[in-house]
Amino acid sequence: MNLSTTAKGKEYLILFFIIVVAIVLRFLHPFDIPFTHDEHSALFRINYTSFKDLIEFGVKPDGHPAGIQVLLYFWTILFGYSEIAVKIPFLFLGVFSVFLIYKIGKQWYNSTVGLVSASFLSTLEYFVTYSQIARPYISGLFFTLLMVFFWIKIIKQPQKRVLINAGGYIGGSILCSYNHYFSLLFAVIVGITGLFLIERKFIKRYILFGLIIFIAFIPHIGITIGHLRMGGIEGWLGKPHYDFLIEYLKFAFNNSVLILILVLSIIVFGFYKREFASNYFRHSVIVFCWFILPFLIGFLYSIFVNAVLQYSMLIFSFPFFILLIFGHLPVLSYKYKWLLITVILSITSFSLIVERKHYSYFYNLSYEKILTHHDSLKRAKCDFISIVDSDKKISKYYVEKLSLDTSFIWADSFTSLVDFKSFIRKQNKPNLYFGCISWSNPTIIPIIQDYYPYIEWQKNYFTGTAYLFKKQKTENSQKPIYTSIMTFEGEEKNWRIERKEKVVDTMGYESCSSYLFDSTGESGPTFTIPLKEIINNQNNFIDVSLYTRMDEFPEDVLLCSSLESRGKNIDWRSTSFDTFVPKINYDKVWTKIYHTIKLSDIYLKYPDVILKVGVWNRKKQRFYIDNFEIKVRKGNTVIYGL
């Protein structure tokens, strides 16, 4: 065995170690990896008896290309619907991606760059998580890396192994186009790049490759046009903010200070050595463009057309950012390669397991836990009423899989919040269980707390929360973070009443005083305070409530809140009084109005954020208000991940 073979063998030993780590992190407790909401949704859309119905009802309404949906359709026919059966190909594609980024890094720069890049793909939560999700993200990563691997061979050695390299490039590009529209976009960007780099005598052949890829996508064009007409997903996805890229990079590196220090140290070390290869700058410009262009296109499209940009969509181009920041690393000796790779794998694995708590949070998703908590209380013979606000199809899956009790009430069985409140008011059991997913109406909680005021425990999960409420206080009862109430009996800190003559002492909810709105004005008492003074976490809830007695049924009477930063409004929302005021006998009773602010759904990265709360009497109707209260309660710190 000659020296070069020995050196190559040693290098592959390091790569083997990296891949073993990648396998362990992705396959840890493989039978416990749960389905996410997106996976459940995809699986519900493959239960058709014909391929035509799959395309018509499973692909066209979805907004993604048909590739992964078709794969799941045939895969589940062969291997079934269990979590591990569905996820297996994606788990392996995540591992194969580690090998491919090593090969690309070595082709484009050197073996050290390849090994370092592979180490980060092996252990960063970004890649581990999407390897464990059967959606078109890790598959798209693999397809883009496969395409680029053969593309480099075509560009660098266009006369060698033409059929194999052309087949790999064309096949990878076609897979990208049928996988996800952002992996298709990436394939287009790579293809255009090649037009500037390929030797002129091979340009016609290269254009032919592109034509073959386009022809292969023609059957899907009609579906794609339909998807474009659907628009974006602004119903639940907001437009990106201008710090999106910075926040994305923080997310991609685990939001970890340790990893940031590690990355910066490696970058500085590389520049200290300063051994730039002849093609370093050209290659770095290319990978920079490959990383930044998908982001810019997605960002601008989201700002000016429809919101589509999410972190998941940039996974196809992020490996090239890794190549960009580490591409200047020199070729290290075998000993120093081992040292560097061991440090990277150790720190990033620690971050994944300890800092990010990946296996605690990702393996315990809310859909199952909401139901198992109810089942446990039932088996413990707890005297309680149970309400669940979750996806019914997904819940049915877990009920059948785990043989869980179903003697709970669905939150959507109530026709309105008034109906819900009426039901809660009539309950006399000492405990109430409520399990909900992230999009549950947050106003449900303060309504429950009017009759079950004490939260005995709150279990937080990724995408959902479970609560046990009690009528009686115990030593475990959760305390509110902040409360302030205006009873109009005197002045209160942070409350402002400009028209004090409207405070009357002849009508009140619990006392004799209240505030009168009438035809002389639209606004009344306001509460104003710096947000940071009343919250301890940006996932807190702010529950606003007041009692009102109407002289006529409310029309455009709003309980409003706004968040402002140095005079600029960053969030405004309101609840109409008619949501809670009964349509009959409204002039004879005091009715409670609720308005809840879910801070985790609001972008709060502004300086000096101020909370303002008030009532807007748009049509200048006559009514009274009393017991105007602001309460801050604990939120779910992992509702959208750490």
CB 437 within 8 A of CB 390: yes
Which has the higher per-residue pLDDT, 585 or 468? 468
307-331 pLDDT, tens digit per residue, is 889 999 999 999 999 999 999 999 9
Q: Residue 277: is its pLDDT beyond 80?
A: no
Hey, what amino acid is at 603?
Answer: Y
Q: Residue 220: is its pLDDT beyond 50?
A: yes
Least confident range from 8-17, 249-258, 623-632: namely 8-17
Structure confidence at residue 3 (pLDDT):
42
- Whole-angstrom Cα distance, residue 481 to residue 455? 13
Q: What is the average pLDDT score of the chain?
A: 93
Cα of first residue to Cα of last residue in the chain, in angstroms, is 50
What average pLDDT does range 19-27 have in this prediction? 98
Q: Residue 590: is its pLDDT beyond 70?
A: yes
Q: How much of the chain is helix, strand and coil, in % rounded to 5?
A: 50, 15, 30
What average pLDDT does range 537-566 have in this prediction? 94
Tokens for 235?
């119903």
Long-range contacts at 236-240 (CB < 8 A, ≥ 24 apart): 236/439, 237/307, 237/308, 237/310, 238/307, 238/603, 239/302, 239/303, 239/307, 240/299, 240/302, 240/303, 240/307, 240/309
Q: Put the strands of the sheet holding 431-437 in their side by side order.
A: 409-410, 384-389, 431-437, 464-470, 454-461
- Whole-angstrom Cα distance, residue 85 to residue 72? 10
Pairing of strands 623-633, 514-517: antiparallel
Least confident range from 88-92, 302-306, 366-370: namely 302-306
What average pLDDT does range 136-152 have in this prediction? 97
What average pLDDT does range 38-65 have in this prediction? 92
Q: How many CA within 13 A on the CB side of residue 310? A: 14
Which has the higher per-residue pLDDT, 464 or 512? 464
Structure confidence at residue 558 (pLDDT):
96
Per DSSP, the three-state class of 460 is: strand
What average pLDDT does range 373-392 have in this prediction? 96
Per DSSP, the three-state class of 239 is: coil
Q: Residue 276: is its pLDDT beyond 80?
A: no
Pairing of strands 384-389, 409-410: parallel
What average pLDDT does range 203-223 have in this prediction? 96
Structure confidence at residue 131 (pLDDT):
98
Structure confidence at residue 7 (pLDDT):
73
Q: Which residues, in sequence order, are bridge partners of residue 528?
A: 612
Pairing of strands 384-389, 431-437: parallel
Tokens for 565?
């930063």
224-257 pLDDT, tens digit per residue, is 999 888 866 655 677 899 999 999 999 999 999 9
Structure confidence at residue 233 (pLDDT):
62
Long-range contacts at 529-534 (CB < 8 A, ≥ 24 apart): 529/494, 529/610, 529/611, 530/608, 530/609, 530/610, 530/611, 531/563, 531/604, 531/609, 531/610, 531/611, 532/609, 534/481, 534/482, 534/611, 534/630, 534/632
CB 508 within 8 A of CB 626: yes
Structure confidence at residue 1 (pLDDT):
44
Which is nearest to 267 in space by CA: 225, 214, 323?
323
Rounded to 10 degrees, what is the CA torsion of 20, 24, 26, 31? 140
Q: Which residues contact 611 (CB under 8 A, 6 or more apart)?
A: 527, 528, 529, 530, 531, 534, 542, 561, 562, 563
In this prediction, what percent of the chain has a pLDDT beyond 90? Answer: 86
CA 410 to chain centre: 25
Structure confidence at residue 99 (pLDDT):
98
Structure confidence at residue 484 (pLDDT):
96
Q: Where are the alpha helices (DSSP H) in 327-436?
A: 334-350, 358-361, 366-379, 392-402, 417-425
Structure confidence at residue 587 (pLDDT):
72
What average pLDDT does range 204-213 have in this prediction? 96
Structure confidence at residue 234 (pLDDT):
57
Structure confidence at residue 640 (pLDDT):
87
In this prediction, what percent of the chain has a pLDDT beyond 70? Answer: 97
Q: Residue 275: is its pLDDT beyond 80?
A: no
What average pLDDT does range 60-66 have in this prediction? 90
